[in-house]
Amino acid sequence: MSLMKTVVVYESMFGNTRDIARAVAEGLSEWSSVSFADVDGADEHVNADVSLVVAGGPTHAFSMSRSSTRDDALSRGALSATHRGLREWIDDIDLDAPVPLATFDTHVTQKWVPGSASRSAAKEGRRHGFVPVAAESFYVKSTQGPLTPGELDRARTWARGLRAHVRS
């Protein structure tokens, strides 16, 4: 029996979302062959053989980042910011057939902050031919981080559970 193929796509500016994406990939690797790429290098990995795409990014202004919020992150000391974020990646992707999509985001711990990039990505993904199957937020102490203790383990556990949502 061959392993299912999963692609983990992420956008990260301060490194927190990238760290969650790596933990997700570790959890997925227990039951799937995993490709791991940031939004700039992910296109070549999404093809007809993929059983699941897991995509994540930081929550900016209650949703996925935009060019203006990425610029703002850079002015606040972000390690990097790409021209194209998760929003643009979803808009640009060309699917041959529907693909299950699990989404995640990093989000500041204040519970009163509305919106999440994961829910926005799932909604946008549906408009572009994905089939949303799960969405999860992982928490950082502030915009720059660090991750709240236990979030990497929670990301691995969440990823293990995604197997139930994948077509065989």
CATH number for the domain spanning 86: value is: 3.40.50.360
Q: 127: exposed, middle or buried (C-beta count within 10 Å: 0-12, 13-18, 19+)?
A: exposed
The distance from CA 110 to its chain's CA centroid, rounded to whole angstroms, is 20
Count of Cβ atoms closer than 10 Å to residue 118 Cβ:
26
Using left for φ > 0, alpha for ψ between -120 and 50, and beta otherwise, residue 129 falls in left
Residue 105 or residue 13, greater confidence: 105
Beta bridge partners of 132: 101
User: How many beta carbons lie within 10 A of that of residue 139, not counting itself?
Assistant: 20
Rounded CA separation 149/139 (Å) = 9
Residue 140 lies in domain: 4-165
For the chain, what is the mean pLDDT? 87
How many Cβ atoms sit within 10 Å of the Cβ of residue 165? 15
Predicted TM-score of the model (pTM): 0.90
Nearest to 16 by CA among 59, 54, 71: 59
Count of the separate structural domains present in the chain: 1
What tens digit of pLDDT does each residue of 41-82 get? 888 888 888 999 999 989 876 777 667 666 666 667 666 666
Ramachandran sector of residue 22 (left: φ over 0; alpha: ψ -120 to 50; beta: rest):
alpha
